[in-house]
Amino acid sequence: MPGDPTAPDMTTQPRPVYVIGAGPGGLAVAAALRARGVRAVVVEKADEVGASWRRHYDRLHLHTTRRLSALPGLAVPRRFGRWVSRDDVVRYLEKYAEFHELELVTGVEVTRIEPAPEGEDGWTLHATGGRVLSAAAVVVATGFNHTPALPDWPGRDTYGGPLLHAADYRNPRPYAGQDVLVVGVGNTGAEIAVDLAEGGAARVRLAVRTAPHIVRRSTAGWPAQRTGILVRRLPVRLVDRLGALVARASVPDLSAYGLPRPTTGLYSRVKQGSIPVQDVGLIDAVRSGKVEPVAAVDSFDGAEVVLADGSRITPDAVVAATGYRRALEGLVGHLGVLDERGRPRTHGARTPGQARGLYFTGFTNPISGMFREMARDAEKIAKAVARQTARQTAR
């Protein structure tokens, strides 16, 4: 840790481990590597750490608890409260990089990763400005939510009003008095719909393709995240059954308002990639009519949005909370390390057989919270890399 006189001299290590991305995932790995005496350099395309969090909407708070969201070697300050605000997440990440004295290169985007030339171990990174970097190992931490995904709805370009991705939504002010359609009911869509309804929009509709599982963020002081941690290793069918029981006891039936209980179990849905929606006001907003669930968006036709049930509506603005792509193809797609959905086949301490020394963190969406899992993966990756670099040095 910083200032430790017994720490190994990392400046003498020939090639660093490069960590791509200075979000929580990358910073956590860099700190864990440094704690093991491995020199890590974080390369970040933005000008500052925590770029993704700086861009999130104003109202956002972590829905995972402060304690269960801490990264290795530094607690999240108690004064940030149980549910940490967006600005405090950014403050924590800035402090984290400073506290661990992380080596950061900002304003540089890594564009492609190649194996080192024949006969050499490691990797070659190509980066903006014609930079070529030689790495003992690489950790890709470029984010699960890398590139906003906007569906290619037929007629999308004929729509005259503002049509923006949730990544570009900040707060409800520009929509005061307007009729707004939010598309997609993940955590982001649900919260933006509530934000708009509470923030003065005249009408808010929420287009729902698949009814979500809704859970209380906390019940009698017990956070939903803790339940997620406890059940994550149990059989999927058992957790599905438990989830249904808990939902019946704690979440009202919203079928009459257009939000029926889902037919696929909660954990089955998590395994398919969609985590439950934590209630930060959606249930009340739907019951009071402030947020109206409607059918999924089918297409656009001039000022009209055509819904899957055939109805047509004419919102003043559309906010598409339709998710993100990993966008890893350009970086590592040629290495055969991605699955058919474009996600890394390995994560944490495991590296692909044909790409030893290439690690990924932050590309799963676990029920137990991503900050927590990235913190745990950071330690595992650091241990594996330390072992690998020690072997390389011994040769």
Ligand X SMILES: Cc1cc2nc3c(=O)[nH]c(=O)nc-3n(C[C@H](O)[C@H](O)[C@H](O)COP(=O)(O)OP(=O)(O)OC[C@H]3O[C@@H](n4cnc5c(N)ncnc54)[C@H](O)[C@@H]3O)c2cc1C
Instruction: By CB under 6 A, name the binding residues for ligand X.
Output: 20-26, 43-46, 51-53, 56, 60, 62-64, 69, 109-110, 141-146, 188, 331, 362, 369-371
Give the bridge partners for 134, in sequence order: 124
**Residue type (1 letter), 284:** D
Give the bridge partners for 179, in sequence order: 203
User: In whole angstroms, what is the distance from residue 229 CA to residue 356 CA?
Assistant: 30
The least CB distance from residue 53 to ligand X, in Å, is: 6
User: In whole angstroms, what is the distance from residue 44 CA to residue 25 CA?
Assistant: 12
332: which 2 tokens?
């590592």
**Residue type (1 letter), 201:** A
The least CB distance from residue 324 to ligand X, in Å, is: 7
The least CB distance from residue 4 to ligand X, in Å, is: 25
50 vs 203, beta carbon nearer ligand X: 50
Computed on alpha carbons and rounded to an integer, the radius of gyration of the chain in Å comes to 22
Give the bridge partners for 206, in sequence order: 182, 293
With a CB cutoff of 8 Å and minimum separation 6, the contacts of 299 are 153, 154, 155, 156, 305, 306
The least CB distance from residue 334 to ligand X, in Å, is: 15
CB 144 within 8 A of CB 365: yes
- Per-residue 3-state assignment (H helix, E strand, C coil) for 105-131: EECCCEEEEEECCCCCCCEEEEEHHHE
Size of the chain in residues: 395
The least CB distance from residue 12 to ligand X, in Å, is: 26
Residue nearest to ligand X (CB): 23
- Dihedral-angle region of residue 342 (phi above 0 means left; psi in -120 to 50 means alpha; beta otherwise): left
Q: Find, among 115, 97, 32, the residue nearest to 386 by Cα.
A: 32
333: which 2 tokens?
């797609």
370: which 2 tokens?
């991503």
The least CB distance from residue 152 to ligand X, in Å, is: 22
27 vs 283, beta carbon nearer ligand X: 27
66 vs 205, beta carbon nearer ligand X: 66
108 vs 180, beta carbon nearer ligand X: 108
The least CB distance from residue 178 to ligand X, in Å, is: 22
Q: Find, among 377, 279, 379, 368, the residue nearest to 68 by Cα.
A: 368
142 vs 178, beta carbon nearer ligand X: 142
The least CB distance from residue 160 to ligand X, in Å, is: 28
What single DSSP character describes residue 356?
T
The least CB distance from residue 137 to ligand X, in Å, is: 16
The least CB distance from residue 289 to ligand X, in Å, is: 26
250 vs 365, beta carbon nearer ligand X: 365
344 vs 352, beta carbon nearer ligand X: 344
141 vs 319, beta carbon nearer ligand X: 141
Q: Find, among 162, 163, 168, the residue nearest to 148 by Cα.
A: 168
The least CB distance from residue 312 to ligand X, in Å, is: 30
Query: What is the biggest distance separating any 2 CA atoms in the chain, rounded to whole angstroms?
Result: 70
277 vs 305, beta carbon nearer ligand X: 277
User: In whole angstroms, what is the distance from residue 370 CA to residue 361 CA?
Assistant: 10
142 vs 322, beta carbon nearer ligand X: 142
142 vs 305, beta carbon nearer ligand X: 142
For the chain, helix (H) and strand (E) counts, in that order, are 10, 22
